[in-house]
Amino acid sequence: MVIDRRTIRTQAAIETGFIEVLSQKPLNKITVLELTEQINIGRGTFYSHYKDLFDLYNRIMQETTRTLSRLFDENYPDPGTDSYEFFANQMITYVDEHRKLFTSLMHNDLGGKFAIQLKEMLMRKVEEHQNITGTDTREHGRVSFTCSGVIGLMVDWLDDKLAISADDLSDLVAELIVNMYA
**Is pLDDT of 94 > 90?**
yes
Task: Locate the domains of the chain by residue range.
Answer: 1-50, 61-180
**Is pLDDT of 135 > 70?**
yes
Question: What is the topology classification, in CATH, of domain 1-50?
Answer: Arc Repressor Mutant, subunit A (1.10.10)
pLDDT over 90, % of the chain: 66
Question: What contacts 75, CB < 8 A, 6 or more positions away?
Answer: 86, 87, 90, 91
Model confidence pLDDT, tens digit, residues 48-84: 999 999 999 999 999 999 999 999 999 998 877 778 8
pLDDT of residue 178: 85
**Alpha helix stretches (DSSP H) within 40-136:** 43-49, 53-75, 85-97, 99-107, 113-129
pLDDT of residue 51: 97
| Vertex 82 angle, CA 81 and 83, to 5° | 95
* Residues 94, 98: Cα–Cα separation, whole Å: 6
pLDDT of residue 4: 82
pLDDT of residue 113: 85
Using pLDDT thresholds of 50, 70 and 90, give the confidence band for residue 109.
Answer: low
* Residues 95, 98: Cα–Cα separation, whole Å: 5
